[in-house]
């Protein structure tokens, strides 16, 4: 029996024929499933799942991305390690020390009542060795002086000029500075200049003992020296020279800076005396 669909079209299929075809279809599907299972074999849980992995416990220090706290901790660890390494180095004083102290306006005594009240002059007086003091304001390891860095007063240049005079042959060198190098935008340039200055001194005066005194300043200026301090410290470490880290040691604090500040950038007379005292403490450790 055939029927005509509404709206015209092809002949339809009877209800009895639908039931017959459906039953045949169900039987065919069932037979296919049984055959497939037989071919696959029994299901094994151990083979179906990948091997189990041990996951980090809650106390694991491994994290997918460092958090701000983790980053700060890593930075602090790296800083303390570098500082400890620098301070672990020492110098072996010659039988008859002849000292050269070279630096920036701090070494020149700027801010003190008189130049000879500057930290370098006070240190020289306390040590009692023949000493030449070469302080030029506005200069640094990489910064040659002047607003445009065009004065040619970089430390390596000045060391070369001093070495040209055979009448003065130092065997101990104290390099102070880094404040003015903060004007250099690339810390790697400052690091390289610090390393080169130390190595140049060793070429000019074979056997010379070198100590580096990093940048320092009364607060709040001191906080601006963090990056350049790290660069100078890394440069000293690359040259295997002791580094006196006034910044990390916190010589100038918020509490003491008002008593030691001359002009917002330099220590006053009391500040220079304080700086000299702190350096001499570090010197005693380096020379033990």
Pairing of the two strands 243-244 and 131-135: unpaired
Give bridge partners of residue 133 from the DSSP assignment: 101
Query: Please, are residues 205 and 160 in contact by the beta-carbon 8 Å criterion?
Result: no
- Residue-wise pLDDT tens digits, 212-227: 999 999 999 989 999 9
Domain boundaries, the chain: 85-286
Rounded to whole angstroms, what are the CA distances from 147 to 138, 235, 271?
A: 9, 24, 26
- Residue-wise pLDDT tens digits, 231-276: 999 999 999 999 999 999 999 999 999 999 999 999 999 999 999 9
**pLDDT above 70: residue 21:** no
Extended strands (E) in the chain: 99-103, 131-135, 172-176, 209-213, 243-244
| Edge-to-edge strand ranges of the sheet holding 131-135 | 131-135, 99-103, 172-176, 209-213, 243-244
- What is the reported pTM? 0.71
When comparing pLDDT for 36 and 52, which is higher?
A: 36
The pLDDT-based confidence of 88 (bands split at 50, 70, 90) is low
Homologous superfamily of the 85-286 domain (CATH): SGNH hydrolase (3.40.50.1110)
């Amino acid at each position: 029996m055939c029927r005509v669909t509404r709206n015209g079209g092809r002949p339809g299929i009877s209800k009895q024929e639908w039931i017959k075809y459906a039953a045949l279809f169900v039987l065919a599907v069932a037979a296919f499933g049984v055959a497939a299972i037989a071919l696959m074999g029994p299901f094994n849980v151990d083979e179906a799942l990948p091997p189990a992995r041990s996951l980090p416990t809650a106390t694991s220090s491994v994290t997918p991305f460092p958090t701000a706290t983790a980053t700060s901790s890593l930075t602090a660890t790296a800083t303390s390690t570098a500082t400890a390494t620098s301070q672990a180095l020492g110098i072996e004083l010659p039988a008859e020390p002849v000292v050269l102290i070279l630096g920036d306006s701090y070494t020149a005594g700027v801010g003190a009542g008189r130049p000879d009240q500057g930290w370098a002059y006070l240190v020289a007086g306390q040590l009692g060795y023949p000493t030449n003091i070469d302080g030029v304001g506005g200069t640094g390891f990489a910064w040659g002086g002047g607003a445009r860095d065009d004065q040619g007063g970089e430390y390596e240049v000045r060391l070369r000029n001093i070495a040209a005079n055979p009448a003065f042959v130092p065997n101990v060198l104290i390099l102070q500075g880094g404040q003015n190098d903060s004007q250099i935008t690339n810390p790697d340039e400052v690091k390289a200049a610090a390393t080169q200055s130390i190595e140049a001194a060793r070429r000019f005066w074979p056997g010379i003992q070198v100590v580096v005194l990093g940048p320092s300043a009364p607060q709040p200026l001191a906080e601006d020296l963090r990056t350049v301090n790290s660069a100078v410290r890394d440069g000293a470490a690359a040259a295997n020279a002791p580094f006196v880290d006034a910044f990390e040691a916190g010589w100038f604090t918020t509490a003491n800076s008002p008593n030691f500040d001359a002009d917002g950038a330099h220590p006053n007379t009391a500040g220079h005396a304080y700086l000299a005292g702190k350096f001499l403490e570090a010197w005693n450790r380096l020379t033990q």
